[in-house]
Amino acid sequence: MLKVVIKSMGCKANRYESDRIQDKFEDMAIFADAQIHDMRNADVIIVNTCTVTHAADRKSRQAITVLKKNHPTAKVVVFGCGANTDPESYTNLDQVDFVVQKREEIDELIEELIEEKKKDPKNGNEAACETSNFEINRTRTFVKIQDGCNNFCAYCIIPYARGRQVSYPSEQIITEIKRKIDKGFKEVVLTGINIGMWKENSNDLADLIQMILDKTSIERLRLSSIEPQNYSDKFIELFKNPRFCPYLHISLQSGSAEILKNMRRHYKKELFADIVARLRKAVPHFSITTDVIVGFPGETDELFEETCEFVKEMNFSKIHIFPYSKREGTPAAEMPNQINPNIKKERCSYLANIENNMRMDFYKKNTGRIEEVLFEANLENGFHTGFTSNYLRVRLNEKSKEDLTNQTRKVKLLKLSENETMICKIIDIE
C-alpha cells in the first residue's frame, strides 16, 4: 500500500488543492493523510508550498526538512506557488526529489511510484492500492470558484505565481458542492485567490451564491478571504439567509490613504468603511476580520497612526498583522524609504495591543447570544468543539452523552475560556 503524506502551506486555496489531491488518491484507494496525523514510514511526501512572504517560503522549506526527517526513505514532491515562482530554490534542496507545477503531473508521478512499488521484490506482485481505514473530517470542506489575480499590488508576488484571474463555471461548482454533500460535509467554504471577481456572463458572486443556496442542500455556506470592492445590495442582503454565514475576511492592508495608493490597492478606505457599515446593518453580529501590513516603504509614524485609528473605527473581530516583507520582482522591493526592522517590530506590537482589545470586545458582545454551532470534533476528554456561523470557536460546557460530531445544535454562549474558546451550553435538547 502506497502511503502518502500531504502538507499544505498557506492559504485556503492551497488547502483546497491539497484536498483535491487527497480526493484523487481516495479514488485510487491510496492511503493519503492530508492532516499529518500519526502516519509512519510514508512512501511519498507532497508539500504544497506558499510564497506570499519570505517567511512563508522559509516555512515551506522547513516543513520539507521536518517531514523528510520523520520519513527518511520517502520521495519528496514539491508543488504550489513557491515551486511556480522559484523552482530552483526547491530543486537545489537535497531532500526534494521532484518539483512539479501542475496537479496532473502529481497524479502521473504517483502512478509511476505505484508501479515501482509493485515491482519491488519485498512487495511481491500485490497492487499498492489497498483501501485504508483512514477517517477524514467530513464537516467543513473547501470549493475553489476562481483562481489568479489581476490586481498586481505593489508588494505582492501572487499574480506572478498564479497568473491572471479566471472564474470556474457555476455548473462545475454546484456539481462539486453536491459531491461534497454526498460525502457528508455540512459546510462549504468558497475559496480562490480573488473570489470577489468571480464572473459568468452577466452573473457575479452574489448570483453564484444565490444559485448555490437554491440548487444545493448545503447546511452552511461560507466565504474565505475577499477583497474590498463595490458589493451590491443583493450581496449584502444574502447574509440574512441563515445558511450563509455572517463572516468575512476582508483584506485592508493599511488604513492610510497614502499608503493604500502606494501599495496600488484598488479601493479607498472610505469604500472599506461603507462595506463594514452595510454588513453590520444587515447582520449586527457580523464578524469581520482583516489583514494589515505594517512598515510598508514610506510609512511614517503619522501614516501608521492613521492605520491604527481607522482600525479602531472598524472594530474588527480579529486582525492578522504582518511586517512588510520584501519580495524580489515586485515594485515595492525597489521603493525608497524602506522601514527599519526594529521600527516594524515596535509597530506590530503596538497594533497587536489594539487588536487584542478589539478581539476581546467581540467576544464580550457575543457572550449570552444564542447561536447555531456545527460541531467538528470530539476531544479526547469528551468535550465537543465547533464553530458558530460567525466563526467563533466554541466548546461545550459538559460532556455529551451522544457523539455530536458533524451535527448542528443551538447553543447559548456562556463565557470565554483561557484559550480563547467560547464555552457554550446546548439549549435545544435539554
Residue at which a domain ends, from 245, 280, 304: 245
Backbone angles phi, psi at 203, to 5 degrees: -85, 145
pLDDT band at 153 (very low <50, low <70, confident <90, very high): very high
pLDDT at position 108 is 81
Q: Is the pLDDT of residue 6 over 50?
A: yes
The 10s digit of each residue's pLDDT in 97-140 is 999 877 678 878 877 877 777 666 555 444 333 323 233 456 89
Q: Write down the pLDDT at residue 276.
A: 97
Quick one: pLDDT at residue 20? 81
Q: What CATH number did the domain enclosing 97 receive?
A: 3.40.50.12160
Q: Supply the pLDDT for residue 130.
A: 32
Same domain? 146 vs 210? yes
pLDDT in tens, 242-281: 999 999 999 999 999 999 999 999 999 999 999 999 999 9
Which tens digit of pLDDT belongs to each residue from 198-234? 999 999 999 999 999 999 999 999 999 999 998 999 9
As for how many domains the chain has, the answer is 3
Instruction: List, for residues 290-306, the tens digit of each pLDDT value.
Output: 999 999 999 999 999 99
Domain enclosing residue 396, as ranges? 370-426
- Please tell me the least confidently modeled range out of 32-36, 147-151, 376-380, 415-419: 32-36
**pLDDT score at 34:** 45
Q: At residue 52, does pLDDT exceed 90?
A: no
pLDDT at 36 over 50: no
pLDDT digits (tens, 9 = 90+) for 315-325: 999 999 999 99
Query: Of 209, 226, 245, at which residue does a domain stop?
Result: 245
pLDDT at 40: 64
Look at residue 337 and tell me whether its pLDDT is greater than 70. yes
Last residue of a domain, one of 245, 270, 286: 245
Residues 28 and 108 in one domain: yes
pTM for the full model?
0.84
User: Is 70 exceeded by the pLDDT of residue 26?
Assistant: no
What CATH number is given to the structural domain containing 410? 2.40.50
